Amino acid sequence: MISHNTSWIPIPEDSDFSIYNIPFGIFSDSDTTKRVGVAIGEFIIDLSVAYEYGIFDDLNIDKSVFKRDYLNDFISLGKRVTSKVRIIIQKELMNANSVLKNYPTPLISQENAIMHLPVYIRDYTDFYSSIEHATNVGKMFRDPANALLPNWKHIPVGYHGRASSIIVSGVDIHRPKGQVLPPGKSTPIYTASSRIDFELEMGYIIGKETELGKKLNTKNAENYIFGKVLFNDWSARDIQKWEYIPLGPFLAKNFASSISPWVVTMEALEYFRVEGPEQDVPVLPYLEFEGARNYDIKLEVALQPKAEEETIISKSNFKYMYWNMAQQLAHHTMNGCNLNVGDMMGSGTISGKSPDSYGSMLELSWAGEKPIKLKGGDIRTFINDNDTVIMRGYCIKDNKRIGFGEVSTKLLPAKSR
Ligand code: CA
């Protein structure tokens, strides 16, 4: 971690993209070629241009790795290289005589850039690792006295999701249609979902592949994580309720899932490591771990109706996660299941203890019983047409701030056919 924050680029004090961050993403501008960039303040540094000034010469990187549609090839260079690229950029940004000040400039205003899906996600797994979320859902749909199922404190429960419908922030989605069982009826109808929900999650991107048959353990698993993004796991609760028995969610979840465009590296997050909640039931040896394995990442969800100001409807924190990422990966690979660079793992909905920290409308409105009041006077139990859901996340400690920017998605009305 660098001890001071002086750069020749002006960086607003409350910027998510401080000198301590340097997240990676894929962007384009008037030149529509997609390139690899890093975010700093209100700018992007085009690494394909920065490369021309020789700053990465010692790393023996092929320039083409910065002119790709996705970060996968860059990530595949390994942390030994990618962490050095980040440090070189930090040094150049603090060097008043940096070659990056030369013309042509590698600096592009974020306002003038289009951000793209940062990673080609081949496989996506979603965990269910917040004890508060699992408990709330159990109370609503099963037995309030036995809300957690017997396996929950022994297994980091998860399911394989659908990677093809993961979209980047800014892409609008349509209200999905599907099979719904109307209350009191015994046969389903085909209709637009009336219970569209978000799930406040974080995703992490796998940075190193494993061979089929190889197990990770809680000591080495974190070396296989490149970085993290904000993740909105859109859900259609009425479709989910009818379809999920016995194999879990299917079409209620795979119509869209949104991620933030900048991948914040584990190196940047290291400074914000904290202890997680106590795991009060002994776990099997392969899930035991040592040290602080959670991260203090403040999260919030805002809901913005069309042409109105936004209302913050939830404030949560990634540190509430019961199961940590090292345990999730040790579990995911314990049967020999292999991981690929660019795979994404979702945390599961991140709810805290207090009702204002719940990470979904299902919990915030308690399945529709407690409508949420918005600033403009509207109320919501689920998401309405033309609402935009915005998630943000940041870390702050000792005046050092890093953040994820946002993942913002607008829900358009269902298509007419
Ligand atoms: Ca989820």
Per-residue pLDDT tens over the stretch 243-288: 999 999 999 999 999 999 999 999 999 999 999 999 999 999 999 9
Q: Is the pLDDT of residue 141 over 90?
A: no
Q: Is the pLDDT of residue 2 over 50?
A: no
Q: 192 - beta bridge partners?
A: 177
What was the pLDDT predicted at 5? 59
Mean of per-residue pLDDT scores for the chain = 96
Same domain, 184 and 318: yes
> Got the DSSP string for 360-388?
BHHHHTTTTTSPEEPTTS-EESSPPTT-E
Specify whether the CB–CB gap between 44 and 116 falls below 8 A: no
283, 305, 344, 404 from 328: Cα distances, Å: 13, 36, 12, 22
Local confidence band at 152 (pLDDT 50, 70, 90 cut-offs): very high
Per-residue pLDDT tens over the stretch 313-358: 999 999 999 999 999 999 999 999 999 999 999 999 999 999 999 9
133, 154, 174, 331: which is the annotated catalytic residue?
133
The three-state secondary structure class of 72 is helix
From ligand 1's centre to the CA of 400, what distance in Å? 30
Which residues are placed with Cβ below 5 angstroms of ligand 1, an ion? Answer: 126, 199, 233
Same domain, 294 and 367: yes
Annotated catalytic residue 174: no
Same domain, 322 and 381: yes
Domain total in the chain:
2
CA 135 to chain centre: 22
What was the pLDDT predicted at 1? 42
Specify whether the CB–CB gap between 323 and 151 falls below 8 A: no
Last residue of a domain, one of 116, 134, 164: 116
Would you say the C-alpha torsion 247, 249, 252, 255 has a positive or negative sign? negative
From ligand 1's centre to the CA of 158, what distance in Å? 9
Closest CA to 264 of 96, 24, 2, 20: 24
Specify whether the CB–CB gap between 386 and 412 falls below 8 A: yes
Last residue of a domain, one of 116, 136, 164: 116
Closest CA to 50 of 403, 2, 40, 265: 40
Q: Kindly state the helix (H) or strand (E) to which residue 231 belongs, with its residue range.
A: strand 225-232
Q: d(Cα 102, Cα 157) in Å, to the nearest integer? A: 52
Q: d(Cα 369, Cα 405) in Å, to the nearest integer? A: 32
Structure tokens at 199: 């799930």
From ligand 1's centre to the CA of 284, what distance in Å? 25
Same domain, 286 and 141: yes
CA 367 to chain centre: 24
Per-residue pLDDT tens over the stretch 38-87: 999 999 999 999 999 999 999 999 999 999 999 999 999 999 999 999 99
Last residue of a domain, one of 116, 139, 157: 116
Per-residue pLDDT tens over the stretch 112-140: 999 999 999 999 999 999 999 999 999 99
Domain presence at residue 417 = no
Closest CA to 154 of 352, 333, 327: 327
What was the pLDDT predicted at 90? 98
From ligand 1's centre to the CA of 200, what distance in Å? 8
Same domain, 245 and 322: yes
Same domain, 250 and 397: yes
From ligand 1's centre to the CA of 47, what distance in Å? 34
Structure tokens at 1: 């971690």
Q: Kindly state the helix (H) or strand (E) to which residue 74 belongs, with its residue range.
A: helix 72-76
From ligand 1's centre to the CA of 201, what distance in Å? 7
From ligand 1's centre to the CA of 196, what distance in Å? 13
Per-residue pLDDT tens over the stretch 34-47: 999 999 999 999 99
94, 119, 282 from 16: Cα distances, Å: 17, 20, 38
What was the pLDDT predicted at 3? 42
CATH code of residue 320: 3.90.850.10
Mean pLDDT calculated for residue range 167-183:
98
Per-residue pLDDT tens over the stretch 278-324: 999 999 999 999 999 999 999 999 999 998 999 999 999 999 999 99
CATH code of residue 81: 2.30.30.230
What was the pLDDT predicted at 6? 84
What was the pLDDT predicted at 417? 74
Write out the residue range of the structural domain in which residue 205 sits.
Answer: 124-412
From ligand 1's centre to the CA of 124, what distance in Å? 11
Reported pTM: 0.97
Q: d(Cα 201, Cα 229) in Å, to the nearest integer? A: 9
